[in-house]
Amino acid sequence: MLQLMWPRFGLLFLLIFQTSIISQAIAKPLPQFVDITTQAGIDFEHNSGAFGQKYLPETMGPGCAFIDYNNDGWQDILLVNGKDWPNHTTQRRQTMALYRNDGDSDGDGIPEFIDQTTSAGLDLPFYGLGVAVADYDNDGDLDFYLSCLDLDRLFQNQGDGSFLDQTEKSGILNPSFGTSCAWFDYDNDSYLDLFVANYVEWSIEADLFCTLDGTHKSYCTPESYNGQSSKLYRNRGDGTFADVSRIARIEDKTSKSLGVCIFDFNTDGLADIFEANDTQPNKLYQNNGDGTFIEQGMIAGVAFSEDGKATGAMGVDAGDYDGSGRESLVIGNFSNEMINLYHNEGSFFIDDAPIANVGSSSLLTLTFGCFFFDFDLDGQLDIFTANGHLEDEINTVQSEVTYAQTPHLYLNTGNGAFIDVVAKVGPDLQRPIVGRGTVHGDIDNDGDWDLLVATCGGPVYLYRNDAITTGGVNAPSWIKVLLVGTESNRNGIGARVSILTEQRKQTRTLRSGASYCSQSELSFIFGLGEATQVEQLDVRWPPTLKHRQGRRTVLQNIKANQQLVIQEDNIN
């Protein structure tokens, strides 16, 4: 009898313990996110081209990016935009926007952003959706790739504040429905290659009539259209690229991909590819190390939901949120499908969303952008999601689902669980929006992550993270790390950085892309909590043809609250 009762008591004890931990997390002071968009000088509204015809691409964009394009140490902002349709013109903006961060020149705590789109040579009309930032030519300047509805674009940084369209010269040709994209070095030759996610076969001429109420046209779901294969472009190192999609075995025309995340899921030192597909099975391409990949999504347990169905997967990110040393996945899904939190067990994944308290709370929201980040600097990765529906009239047919939706901000409680604290970090972040791409970056160089959220057909929002300094509580400590590769790629993309303090060990990987159609700052910020120093910082640089395991840099006894610029030449 006692043996039969023990599991119940054990479960009860676990629930009481979890409740206690969550109560402590709720009680502690949290940073506040403040909307500084207007004060910072940012005036941008996304143009989806919508004028009542309900064309599918109108619902999907846009992405956004943090990019220090002028190397002055301040994060600038790149905003992707659509444009008017050929059969309908408006007075809305037709180009992307590049805002230069001039820092806090007047001392009011708000950086000043200046629109540099025209002077940078970016005042060109494209129906853009996604963006990925990296120094693909290893010349010290950040370039970017723009995915578009018709023909993607590659922009090379000229080093003088301007960009040059190198698409034709590079040999890249992707006339598809491009969405998320990411730079990574899959063949370890020190030149960054490019993965581009493509969605469905759509055109104005092939547009279909779909309806929610049986009478009026609504936006079609992806089931109405055939899928498109994603693309893998190998960087030859001379400014040109080769389409190796078929050779590398990632070509699959059944895919309807919206998100991509590059991470080493089996910790073998090779960059693998996770592809988030909308209403089709997700794909996990394991890097074989010989220029080819093998698809392992079903075997690894990430292809379908726990009930065996393909979800409406959107954005994705990877992170070691529990200190296991392995990166797990967070995936944003359609409404009435909870967020996935795939815990990495080593060779397979288990969806911990229900027991981690992110499942039921995300059931009614439609999540596009999502990522791991440590917003309160306690040394544990939290989760942010940008939410918003596709159909502006969804509430007429689903009373519990809305078009504009509040973001989720999941605080890591430290026991494998999270709690949504968006209501605890100020009123600005609680505003319902039609969220799409979202990223994190340190816009004011104060050592904490600020937020940028793009919306569909609406404004962009810039939220400043205001540290905990009230009620006698001191702000937590931090260390910021910027990598400079010499033998590996210039940004150190793919590098794995670990730090050790008295409290815990933390591990992060530098990646391009992730979230949804967007690019976060290419730096690390490690929250240290109350620690005053880092006992050891360990950089495992990306593998190269010369050093197959990657070179290693180890630093010790580092004082907190500073930024480190670590060059690969500083090795042990």
Task: Please report, as a single letter, which amino acid is at residue 28.
Answer: K
Task: Taking residues 141-163, report their average pLDDT.
Answer: 97
Predicted confidence at residue 393, as pLDDT, reads 87
Per-chain mean pLDDT for the chain: 94
Task: Taking residues 345-368, report their average pLDDT.
Answer: 96
Q: Bridge partners of 293?
A: 287
Predicted confidence at residue 569, as pLDDT, reads 85
Distance of alpha carbon 285 from alpha carbon 511, whole angstroms: 16
Q: How far is CA 505 from CA 144, 325, 532, in A?
A: 33, 9, 15
Predicted confidence at residue 5, as pLDDT, reads 47
Predicted confidence at residue 14, as pLDDT, reads 45
Predicted confidence at residue 26, as pLDDT, reads 63
Q: Which has the closest alpha carbon to 485: 405, 543, 418?
A: 543
Tell me the whole-structure pTM to 2 decimals: 0.94
Give yes or no for residue 564 having a pLDDT over 50. Answer: yes
How confident is the model over 91-113, as pLDDT tens digits? 999 999 999 999 998 888 899 99
Which residue has better confidence, 399 or 116?
Answer: 116
How confident is the model over 471-487, as pLDDT tens digits? 456 789 999 999 999 99
Predicted confidence at residue 10, as pLDDT, reads 47
- DSSP string covering 412-436, please? E-SSS-EEE-GGGS-SGGGS-B-EE
Going by the DSSP 8-state scheme, the letter that residue 307 receives in this structure is: T
pLDDT-derived band at 399 (thresholds 50, 70, 90) equals confident
How confident is the model over 239-281, as pLDDT tens digits? 999 999 999 999 999 999 999 999 999 999 999 999 999 999 9
- DSSP string covering 146-200, please? EEESS--EEEEE-SSS-EEE-HHHHT----S-EEEEEEE-TT-SSS-EEEEEE-B
Predicted confidence at residue 2, as pLDDT, reads 44
pLDDT-derived band at 217 (thresholds 50, 70, 90) equals very high
Give yes or no for residue 25 having a pLDDT over 80. Answer: no
Task: Taking residues 119-145, report their average pLDDT.
Answer: 98
Which residue has better confidence, 24 or 40?
Answer: 40
